[in-house]
Amino acid sequence: MLFLAGQPDITPITNLIDTWIHIGQALVASIGALAFIFAFIWKITAVESHSALAAKQWIQRIVVGTIGVEVAGSLVSILTNSVPATTTH
């Protein structure tokens, strides 16, 4: 029963979560930037006002989605940091 004496080491799980968060943020940032550029070009080159309005709405969705990913990453970081660290005796 020696293994029950201490608390489990969650460092590998925390590192894995942090790694996946960074990968997700990098993917969203690069795809979001590309989508933003295309939507901006679409807005500039749109002939009809309806098409320009649709492009503007897509730009807003991209911005809100990118901010949402950043907030989610911060929340997960806060949650993983709130787990008490294990102590070695």
Q: Is 41 in contact with 22 (CB distance < 8 Å)?
A: no
Task: Please give the Cα distance from 82 to 7 (Å, whole number).
Answer: 15
DSSP assignment, residue 85? Answer: P
pTM over 0.75: no
Q: How far is CA 80 from the centre of its chain?
A: 15
pLDDT at 86: 57
What are the pLDDT digits (tens) for 50-89?
A: 888 898 898 898 888 888 878 887 887 788 778 776 555 4
